[in-house]
Amino acid sequence: MEKVEVPRELKEEAKAHDMYLYPIEKDTYELFFGPQHMATENFSIILKMDGSRVEKAIVNPGFLHRGFEKLAEQRPYFTNIALLLRICVPESDVPENIYSMAVDELVGWEVPERAQWIRTVVLEMARLSAWMFWIFGFGNELGLYTAGQWAVAYRERFMRLFEELTGGRVYHIYTIPGGVRRDIPGDKWLRQLRDTVEYIKAKMKDFDEILFDNYIVFERTEGVGVMDKKFALDHAVTGPNLRAVGIDYDVRKDDPYLFYPEVEFEVPILKEGDSLARALVRRYEIEQDLYILEQLLERGPPSGPYKVQDARLKALPRFKVPKGDAYAHVESTKGDFGAYVVSDGSHKPYRVHIRGPSQSHGVTVLENLLVGARLADVPVILKTLDNCPPDIDR
């Protein structure tokens, strides 16, 4: 291989930014991984490779930066719902809910039981459709495309249910401070949801056969990207990734909200901390989510209004919130998702801060786990960490 002469200025600039590999020595080279690569979704990693081993990984986010938090300061309270849900696309109900819960706390509204039930069901449906989307990504990264195609087809059922409930397929814009925007369309919708839960439950056997029981999955993920307890706690890892390390933390159990205290479910925990454990924790959680939805449906929606009865809701653009601050968080499929809203008494929030799980999973944790991994394992580690690029760039 011929050596390429690089001008001195470029050398210095590259060294200063620590971005471009220089000098080209032995087998070392630089690889731009993403954003075209499907596993990275919308951000990229600059990999410094030694042969097929990763020497150093530098995460290069920013392709989706829209400044959500700043934009939220310039819009009325209710309008922000249509903005903040874009922080996590696969489960857009989570940002909606955390923001609404924080504003509820600020105003001092007690959300009606029916609205709480609907919110819980919507959150669980969002979790399930996000799991389906995760299976799609995970299967594809391993080269098991069949499982991915099935998962997307099953996700479509949830999208159809969301469409009937909220009027939108991906961006639901459904949960608002004080309740939800529409009532349940009727018993037919509940029946459809029950059928879908049963259907997914039956289909999980097929997923086990083709994906989770598959020896390829075991070969590819066992011992890849291992995290230990101390590392996980130091780097603010939450959600399924933390549970795969052996730490029992679930916001739904430890800081219950909405209808979760009245629902029975188990938090699956594994100890290995490798990619296989992370994938299997997610597999077990699908089971739990289906079980939670079953219980909620068995209980049925409580009667009553689906929205707070308040005269202020009639003049939304000038809806004012009393001074104060509030924090609310929920358990999403990515991890602990929280919103901190500060109000100065006007009709726009003074500050909205979103605590997303992907900031730690997608940047610091990923950079550390990738060191020493093979190139083929990069998408596996990336997908088992399951981050959400818009959340990194928020």
Binding residues vs another protein (CB under 8 A): 75-76, 78-83, 146, 150, 153, 156, 160, 163-164, 167-168, 171, 173, 181-182, 185, 201, 204, 206, 208-210, 212-216, 218, 248, 264-272, 276-277, 280, 283-284, 287-288, 291, 314-318
CB of 190 to another protein, least distance (A): 15
Place of tokens 């923001």: 99
Residues with Cβ within 8 Å of 234's Cβ and at least 6 positions away in sequence, in order, are none
The residues near 41 (Cβ < 8 Å, ≥ 6 apart) are: 34, 35, 389
Q: Are 283 and 289 in contact (CB under 8 A)?
A: no
Nearer to another protein, 117 or 150 (CB): 150
- The distance of closest approach from Cβ of residue 16 to another protein in the complex, given in angstroms and rounded to an integer, is 39
Name the residue nearer to another protein (CB basis): 59 or 354.
354
Residue number, 45 or 81, with CB nearest to another protein:
81
CB of residue 325 to another protein, shortest distance in Å: 23
Token reading at 104 = 């509820």
Closer Cβ to another protein, 253 or 353, answer by number: 253
Q: Which is nearer to another protein, 23 or 143 (CB)?
A: 143
Closest CA to 79 of 58, 100, 107, 55: 100
Residue closer to another protein, measured from CB, 31 or 71: 71
Residue with Cβ nearer another protein (31 or 267): 267
For another protein, the closer CB: 37 or 194: 194
Q: How far apart are CA 201 and CA 217, in angstroms?
A: 21
- SS3 for 293? helix
Q: 243 and 297 in contact (C-beta within 8 Å)?
A: no
As measured in angstroms, the least distance from the Cβ of 314 to another protein is: 7
Minimum CB–partner distance for residue 35 and another protein (Å): 24
Exposure class string for 156-170: b at 16+ Cβ within 10 A, else e = ebbbebbebbbeeee
The helix or strand, by DSSP H or E, that contains position 294, with its residue range, turns out to be helix 275-299
Closest contact distance (angstroms) between CB of 160 and another protein is: 7
Alpha-carbon distance values, 190 to 121, 262, 286, 290 (Å):
10, 19, 20, 14
Are 150 and 289 within 8 A, CB to CB?
Answer: no
Nearest to 157 by CA among 131, 129, 183: 129
- CA 143 – CA 141 distance, rounded (Å): 5
CA distance 297 to 262: 13
d(CA 255, CA 328): 10
Nearer to another protein, 80 or 238 (CB): 80
Minimum distance from CB of 301 to another protein (Å)? 18
| Least Cβ distance, residue 339 to another protein (angstroms) | 17
Residue type, 131: W
Minimum distance between the CB of residue 239 and another protein, rounded to whole angstroms?
17
**CA atoms 131, 174, 353, 248: torsion sign:** negative
CB of 43 to another protein, least distance (A): 23
Nearer to another protein, 25 or 156 (CB): 156
CA-based nearest residue to 172, from 182, 162, 157: 162
